């Protein structure tokens, strides 16, 4: 699985003008299930996200996790993280999981974060979403559960 973490002061996602998820300080997590990903990989990625030390400590160093600061996660599905841009001008997405698998792993990932003690809000899988955020830093981190070429 792939995830793009953005440290935020606040973030929200809307679908058709209604808010489906909104958080204060924490992480906006854009997540994509890749072909052949499993629940185990979703759980491992959730643990890495929860423990990633990208929040400032008292000395101003990035040394605290979202768990440490009592933050929340806004998890938004984003299959475009699977984009292959190695040839041509139009990205390919054939390495993304099929929609039914992608949704199952997206929900499993979100639940795994909850199981670790994090408040989690969500976007709506497969919907056309409007995501707004105030990036803090800015700090943006890329994670992938597999080494891919």
pTM of the predicted model as reported, rounded to 2 decimal places: 0.94
Residues involved in catalysis: 78-80
**Which pLDDT value is given to residue 107?**
98
For residue 16, pLDDT beyond 90: yes
- Condensed to tens digits (0 to 9), the pLDDT of residues 81-137 reads 999 999 999 999 999 999 999 999 999 999 999 999 999 999 999 999 999 999 999
- Condensed to tens digits (0 to 9), the pLDDT of residues 51-77 reads 999 999 999 999 999 999 999 999 999
CB-CB contact of 80 with 93 (8 Å): yes
Counting every residue, how long is the chain?
149
- Structural domains of the chain, with CATH: 2-144 (3.50.80.10)
């Amino acid at each position: 699985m792939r995830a793009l973490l953005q440290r935020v002061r606040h973030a929200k996602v809307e679908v058709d003008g209604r808010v489906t998820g909104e958080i204060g300080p924490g992480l906006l997590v854009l997540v994509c299930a890749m072909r052949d990903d499993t629940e185990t990989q979703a759980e491992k990625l959730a643990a890495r996200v929860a423990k990633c030390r990208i929040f400032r400590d008292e000395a101003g160093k990035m040394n605290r996790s979202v768990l440490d600061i009592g933050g929340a996660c806004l998890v938004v599905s984003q299959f475009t993280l699977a984009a292959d841009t190695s040839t041509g001008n139009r990205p390919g997405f054939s390495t993304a999981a099929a929609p039914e698998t992608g949704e199952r792993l997206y929900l499993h990932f979100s639940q795994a974060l909850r199981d670790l003690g994090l408040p989690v809000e969500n976007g709506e899988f497969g919907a056309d979403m409007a995501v707004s955020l105030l990036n803090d830093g800015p700090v943006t981190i890329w994670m992938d559960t597999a080494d891919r070429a």
